[in-house]
Structures are given as C-alpha cells and as structure tokens.
Amino acid sequence: MGRTGYVVGGVAVALIAWWLLPGWVTLLIVLGLIAAPIAGYLMLDPSQRRRLRGQARKRIGS
C-alpha cells in the first residue's frame, strides 16, 4: 500500500468526520492530520532532513 492508500484513507476519514461531527471539530481533525507530518519534519536535525531529501531524490530517479 503506497501513498495513494493513505490519501484515500485520509479523505474517507475526513468525509466521515464531516458527516458525523460538528464543523469545527472536523476542521480541527483535518488541520491535525496536516500539521502532524509538518511538525515531525521540523523536529528533524538538518542532517536528518538532508538524508530524507536524498532518499526522496533516489526514489524519483528509480
């Protein structure tokens, strides 16, 4: 299961939350789903970020 599965799952959860919960709670959930990976990336050291970018470039070229 690649990135596509995660994207489809995230959209499904967002739609279900939008249908079941009030609008502001759904907005908080969606913002949390977006903010979590960004916060994780920002917590990396510069050397870890460089290594992560290098791995992404390797995948693009293969």
Domain boundaries, the chain: 3-61
Q: Which residue has the higher pLDDT, 47 or 25?
A: 47
> How far is Cα 38 from Cα 1, in angstroms, rounded to an integer?
22
Q: How many CB atoms lie within 10 A of CB 22?
A: 9
CB of 14 closer than 8 Å to CB of 29: yes
In the chain, the percentage of residues whose pLDDT exceeds 70 is 90
The structure's pTM equals 0.55
pLDDT band at 61 (very low <50, low <70, confident <90, very high): low
Helices (H), 1-62: 3-20, 23-42, 46-61
Determine the pLDDT at residue 44. 93
